[in-house]
Structure 1
Amino acid sequence: MPADAPRCFALLPCAGSGSRAGTAQPKQYHPVAGQPLVRHTLAAFAKVPRIARVLVVVAPGDERLDDVEAPIEVAPCGGATRAESVLNGLTHLRASGAAAHDWVLVHDAARCLVTPAQIEALIDACQADAVGGLLALPLADTLKAAAADGRVDATLARADKWLAQTPQMFRLGALRDALAAHAAQGFAGITDEASAIEATGQRPLLVRGSAQNFKVTYPEDFALAEAILGSRGA
């Protein structure tokens, strides 16, 4: 491989509180199948040889992952929002040797069911793409729009609707610039990395993911995640 060939880095924002999960601690540290949830996420990325480094962005003062080893690195540069944490993490990667043309795969720490095969599939699909892309899933359920009174306002066509997942894979420099452009406005309207890239006029590639790659969000999600991990022998 040429010395200047793009490398792949992973970035996991891990500084949130996960208030909807109903746990006594941030949900990424809640035990699932015998260990903190985020440890399962990290294990999946550690099994992908093409990932040069996995950067976990935690809140300042958070020492719960201080025992991790290469290729995993922890940076206490988490921000007030997910987007800010990602931007800070990208800045850290750039300052520590990553190039602007390198790829970065941003992944939700709470998507602990992602598999190495899914990560590899995203890299395969995006590494020759001019923009990059994200794992996503075609919408299977009927989609309703709600009125202000909580009743159905309309049934929406679902044929072209996808549920965005992570990882989301873009060039480090392009993603950093795209996010930085919205920092002064508090990242209003930026709900994921793809939306930041879309705001620049580019169109990310949709790569089919898996229904099991859901983000643990609500209390009942932990039992489902544990059952799936158990079925995999975790």
Structure 2
Amino acid sequence: MTTSPANTRSGARFFVLIPCAGQGSRAGTARAKQYHLIDGRPMVRHTVEAFRALAGSFAAVWVVISPSDEDFLDVFPDFNQRNEVLLVGGGATRAATVLNGLKAMLEQQPGADLDDWVLVHDAARCLVTPEQIKALINECRNDAVGGLLAQKLPDTLKTERDGRVASTVDRSDKWLAQTPQMFRIGPLIDALQLAGDAVTDESSAMEAAGLSPRLVNGSAQNFKVTYPEDFALAEAIFERRRK
């Protein structure tokens, strides 16, 4: 019998942190892409709802927005329910935003502990499912390091030089990193502080600290909405799920 993720033998709790401070300039939207409507709802709402479906599993769900953000509460007026926390503390980079969120988790009263788990998830990965989130938790809850959802690279990978193919890379051991990425809060803070702002995901920071996160099979549908054509694909997937 699988126990609830919130009740582990070690007593560690699970938190969620969703960095939502980027602008998504490559998406070509009039405002930050996380507020663009997909299937009739802002993208970030789809993202949060996947975690709301597992509300009893998490001590709190945090969303970190930019100080200049004037849209979040307009498109998400019912946020701050069910142990939800909105932090106006986005940094200049994704890594800085995550680090600010983690530190705030520890400082809140009652706050998180260094040994608690945090699942960091991109606001723009709005197609993640509760089942994928549960799979990550179940695979990593007893792991010494933690891990991330990822997908084996399906395509042939090339390197480039001056606009032409320079070589073909062996893809047999290559994975596409996804989120959520799940690590203990204390070690992740240490790793992010050591790695600096250049890292683009939490796993990279842990790797820089000499650790090897666990890879957990994700889904091709858990892609990061980045380019204009991605919105149509996400829309089609949501429509198919409804049917």
Do the two structures share a fold, i.e. TM-score over 0.5? yes
Contact 2:63 2:87 in 1 (8 A): yes
* Residue 220 of structure 1: aligned partner: 229
Structure 2 residue identity aligned to 1:16? G
Residue identity (%): 59
* SS of equivalent to 1:196: helix
* Residue 120 of structure 1: aligned partner: 134
Q: Distance in 2 between matches of 1:41 and 1:90?
A: 19
Structure 2 residue identity aligned to 1:111? R
Task: Choose the corresponding residue for 1:83, options 70, 87, 95.
Answer: 95
Q: Does 94-103 or 61-70 show the bigger shift?
A: 61-70
Structure 1 residue identity aligned to 2:229? E
* SS of equivalent to 2:177: strand
Q: Distance in 2 between matches of 1:73 and 1:221?
A: 29
Structure 2 residue identity aligned to 1:178? A
**What does the per-residue CA deviation read over 1:63-122, in whole Å, with 9 as the maximum and x for residues that have no partner?**
433320223211000001100000000011111100000000000000000000000000
1:64 aligns with 2:71: yes
Contact 1:144 1:153 in 2 (8 A): yes
Gaps of 5+ in 1: none
Structure 2 residue identity aligned to 1:40? H
1:176 aligns with 2:176: no
Tell me the number of residue pairs that the alignment of Structure 1 and Structure 2 aligns. Answer: 229
Q: Per-residue deviation at 1:32?
A: 0.7
1:167 aligns with 2:180: yes
* SS of equivalent to 2:86: strand
List aligned pairs for 1:91-170, cutoff 5 A: 91-96=103-108, 97-147=111-161, 149-170=162-183
Contact 1:57 1:77 in 2 (8 A): yes
Q: Distance in 2 between matches of 1:169 and 1:35?
A: 27
**What does the per-residue CA deviation read over 1:183-217, in whole Å, with 9 as the maximum and x for residues that have no partner?**
4xxx23x1210000001111000000000000000
Structure 2 residue identity aligned to 1:174? P
Contact 2:150 2:218 in 1 (8 A): yes
Q: Per-residue deviation at 1:21?
A: 0.1
* SS of equivalent to 1:181: helix
Structure 2 residue identity aligned to 1:160? D
Gaps of 5+ in 2: 1-6
Structure 2 residue identity aligned to 1:32? I
* Residue 40 of structure 1: aligned partner: 46
Q: Per-residue deviation at 1:181?
A: 1.8
* SS of equivalent to 1:166: strand
